[in-house]
Chain A
Amino acid sequence: MNGFLIVNGLSGLLIVSSLLVTLAGNPANSARFYALQSFILVMLFVALAGATGSGELYLWSFTALLTKVILVPAIMYRAFRRLSDPAIGTGAVMPTALSIVGAAVALILCFVVASKVTLPAADAIKPALAVSLALFFIGLACIVAQRNILKQVFGYCLMENGSHLTLALLAPNAPELVEIGIATDAIFAVVVMAALGSRIFDTLHTLDARQLTSLKG
């Protein structure tokens, strides 16, 4: 039972780190915080693997360490470090306090939804399940309420971490290949977004999503 307590406890840290990613001053810092969050996620996978006795999850933890903690943040850090658009500041369209309140409300709603899930596998880890869903929606909010197109990429990464956590919690024995498929796709997605974002900056000299409005109607 202790293992599940650690899982639920670590999931709380995921919410904190996702707020750090969202609210960081610039994309390079977001990349650092994203690496931190992914590290917490890996620890959570390990704790979950111990609690459920799932061999696959240990493998997952390892691939997640490679892709999410090292590779993806490194790609983003390298690509985004040289790009900055002082005109948009942090790029947030909402005050920080409101973002935090919003995240808390999302978390409460997700707790309500998670409490209704009747799967036996979900009994011990409902708080973590709620967090995984909340992580998904915080990611979505990070994209919608963000003017900096590079930070929108992190929104996608948070959504992806959320889905990944749900998968690990509900199906800890999923074949390793499933997890590799998701992780690989996410890497390509980040590479493509980083490449496009850089091209937009080089061509248009802005990172502001609100400047991208020549197509309408």
Chain B
Amino acid sequence: MTAMVPSILPPLLLIGPLAVALFLLTLPRFRDSLPESLATDKGSVALLERIHLGSVGYVFLLSVAVLIQVLSSGAISAFGDWLFVDALGAVFMMLIGVVGLMTGLYSIAYLRHDLESGAIDAGKVRIYYGFFSLFLFTMLLAVTANNIIMMWAAIEATTLGSAFLVGLYGQKSSLEAAWKYVIICTVGVAFGLYGTVLVFSNAADVLADPHQAVLWTALVGHAAELDPMLVKLAFVFALIGFGTKAGIFPMHAWLPDAHSEAPSPVSGLLSGVLLKCALLIVIRFYVITVGTVGTAFPQMLLLTLGLLSVGVSSLLFFVQQDLKRKLAYSSIENVGLIVVALGVGGPLGIAAALLHAINHSVTKALFFCSAGNVLIKYGTRDLRAVKGVLRVAPATGLLMMGCALALAGFPPFNIFVSEFMVFMAGLNEGYGWIMALCALFLCITIAGLVKIVADSVLGKSPETMAKGDVGWKALAPLGVLAVLVLTLGFAVPQPLSNLVQQATAVVMNGDSRPVVAAPWQKYDGQTYDTVRAGGQLVTGSLSQTEISK
């Protein structure tokens, strides 16, 4: 493990959203403390919106700053290595920064509508923005933690931070969803704690200094000395625990309820970012486990659970009539595919998993927010009632159509690129039949997505429905996400492929540089064809100087 560069940036990144959350949530008489001109519903909400924008903007800018430092000087750390950001963590931190900013911007228009329609009152707006920042903070803590106990505590805190967001509307169904979310995830993550405790206790016995045994970077360095039986047990516990949070079958039961009942921007954040943060912790435990017992055991578990997730969720996806539930099952499916890619392993498999995590995150956040627009216009998520979105709200209709095609894996959208990589990796590593099964399940999903486009986006709109899209404030952040979905589909930008390569090297615990590019993309003078032709590509033929260009 190369030495980490001390940096002030990780604590700075964390302190902003935490301060905002504490400020908003611990002022019980927030409105009374405002000057008279602001002490109205409208005035206090406008102030809250500005504070919220400051928070999400801050997180985005600091994430970019951290990313630049990580790309230029390698992993950075703070607080005696308790906090650190390596290339792997940076991938997920950027997801929080980007998707957090876009869903944060979208929240403004969405909550204003909720406020006008009477679904929430001004007090709930404060709760929402306070917990939104808290949720961002807990996820940032999870991806910047090097202390494995802190990693667990942060994942547990993400549940506690977002439970009130899920139950925001206070109706029977949303309270029920929030309760299931809290109970299932807390219990699941208790398994994660047990796994964490097992690894830590084991390492505390092996390493001379118990303060080192708690650091992930030290654990990876000494993985070979750990007790194989205990590490296997710990990986099973960690996979169950953090897999619950990531929405892996069969621990996914909370996910469709929470995703469908939460306000739409939060659904986007849950699906786009939270699931991925939990996956990051699974990946961190995977790296330790591989160091102790090799790849066979963890990969077998990952392939099994991943394939089951893809299979079961594709069927449940198809039969759902509730738009947001449908999208939730699609999230389980995509998480399943990421887990399959991790299980396939090899540099290309790991890189494919990471790229798919990024692509799915952006696309699903966009889809959930588009579903939010549908909810604003139609007042329902029932696909039997949502017809002709393209006529009623053309921009939202177009966005939905784009999302559906992207999720179905059609080029030139981003999901195609990473799914293609997953399949290439699977075939390269000799998992032909697993890839064939995945392809079959993906076909079922495609059928479901085509149905959304044909019936709901295109179909005949209800006569009584007023034409006209939602305002530009609700559309602008979605436009940015749509541009990302398309751009990443045309070509993987060089800085991103560099980042994914470096992150892959962290997971492989060595120097391996898979090609991270669209199939048609020129890659430092080579095309992706070499992968298809040559099986193991490649990586050797690219020199360090070529990569760093």
Interface residues of chain A: helix, strand, loop or mixed (majority): helix
**Complex Cα–Cα for A41 and B229 (A):** 27
**Complex Cα–Cα for A193 and B164 (A):** 10
Q: Contact mask A184-209 → B, CB, 8 Å, 1/0?
A: 11001100110011011001100000
Contact, CB under 8 Å: B156 / A119: no
Task: Identify the stretch in B189-197, B407-415, B425-433 within 8 Å (CB) of chain A at 4 or more residues.
Answer: B189-197
**Complex Cα–Cα for A160 and B189 (A):** 10
A121 neighbours in B (Cβ, 8 Å) = 201, 205
Is A140 located at the chain interface by the 8 A CB criterion? yes
Task: Identify the stretch in B36-44, B86-94, B172-180, B495-503 within 8 Å (CB) of chain A at 4 or more residues.
Answer: B172-180
* B130-168 at interface with A (beta carbon < 8 Å): 147, 149-150, 153, 156-157, 159-160, 163-164, 167
Q: How far is the CB of B219 from chain A (nearest CB, A)?
A: 13
Contact, CB under 8 Å: B202 / A119: yes
Is B320 located at the chain interface by the 8 A CB criterion? yes
Contact, CB under 8 Å: A214 / B170: no
Q: How far is the CB of A104 from chain B (nearest CB, A)?
A: 21
Is B542 located at the chain interface by the 8 A CB criterion? no
Contact, CB under 8 Å: B150 / A143: no
A140 neighbours in B (Cβ, 8 Å) = 187
Q: When the two chains form the complex, which single residue of B156, B177, B200, B211 contacts A189, counting CB atoms closer than 8 Å?
A: B156
Q: A140-B187, A170-B201, A185-B157 are in contact. Are A199 and B175 (CB under 8 A)?
A: yes
B256 neighbours in A (Cβ, 8 Å) = 215, 217
Q: When the two chains form the complex, which single residue of B164, B200, B257 contacts A178, counting CB atoms closer than 8 Å?
A: B200
Is B183 located at the chain interface by the 8 A CB criterion? yes
A167 neighbours in B (Cβ, 8 Å) = 197, 200-201
Is A182 located at the chain interface by the 8 A CB criterion? yes
* A165-184 at interface with B (beta carbon < 8 Å): 166-167, 169-171, 173-175, 178, 181-182, 184
Is A52 located at the chain interface by the 8 A CB criterion? no
Is B214 located at the chain interface by the 8 A CB criterion? yes
Q: A118-B227, A189-B156, A203-B172 are in contact. Are A174 and B200 (CB under 8 A)?
A: yes
**Complex Cα–Cα for A214 and B149 (A):** 36
Contact, CB under 8 Å: A193 / B183: yes
Q: How far is the CB of A109 from chain B (nearest CB, A)?
A: 14
B186 neighbours in A (Cβ, 8 Å) = 156, 189, 193
Number of residues of chain B lying within 8 A (CB) of chain A: 51
Q: A199-B175, A203-B172 are in contact. Are A170 and B197 (CB under 8 A)?
A: yes
B190 neighbours in A (Cβ, 8 Å) = 136, 139, 156, 159-160, 163
Contact, CB under 8 Å: B153 / A217: no
* A39-90 at interface with B (beta carbon < 8 Å): none
Contact, CB under 8 Å: B182 / A192: yes
Q: How far is the CB of A6 from chain B (nearest CB, A)?
A: 21
**Complex Cα–Cα for A173 and B230 (A):** 19
Residue in chain A with minimal CB distance to B176: A212
Contact, CB under 8 Å: A182 / B153: yes
Residue in chain A with minimal CB distance to B148: A178
Contact, CB under 8 Å: B182 / A196: yes
Contact, CB under 8 Å: A215 / B257: yes
Q: When the two chains form the complex, which single residue of B167, B180, B201, B260 contacts A212, counting CB atoms closer than 8 Å?
A: B180
**Complex Cα–Cα for A136 and B205 (A):** 23
Q: How far is the CB of B81 from chain A (nearest CB, A)?
A: 13
Contact, CB under 8 Å: B179 / A117: no
Is B325 located at the chain interface by the 8 A CB criterion? yes
Contact, CB under 8 Å: A197 / B200: no
Is B261 located at the chain interface by the 8 A CB criterion? yes
Is B204 located at the chain interface by the 8 A CB criterion? yes
Contact, CB under 8 Å: B210 / A174: yes
Is A155 located at the chain interface by the 8 A CB criterion? yes
B230 neighbours in A (Cβ, 8 Å) = 117, 119
A181 neighbours in B (Cβ, 8 Å) = 149-150, 153
Contact, CB under 8 Å: B205 / A196: no
**Complex Cα–Cα for A178 and B230 (A):** 20
B153 neighbours in A (Cβ, 8 Å) = 181-182, 184-185
Q: Contact mask B200-226 → A, CB, 8 Å, 1/0?
A: 111011000011011000000000000
B171 neighbours in A (Cβ, 8 Å) = 203
**Complex Cα–Cα for A111 and B179 (A):** 34
Is A11 located at the chain interface by the 8 A CB criterion? no
Given contacts A167-B200, A174-B201, A178-B200, 20 further A-B contacts (CB under 8 A): A116-B229, A140-B187, A143-B183, A166-B201, A169-B201, A170-B198, A170-B205, A171-B205, A171-B210, A181-B153, A189-B159, A193-B183, A196-B179, A197-B179, A203-B170, A212-B176, A212-B180, A214-B173, A217-B320, A217-B325
19 A-B pairs within 8 Å (CB atoms) are namely A118-B227, A118-B229, A119-B201, A119-B227, A155-B187, A156-B183, A159-B187, A163-B190, A163-B193, A166-B197, A167-B197, A175-B214, A184-B153, A185-B156, A192-B160, A193-B182, A199-B175, A213-B176, A215-B176
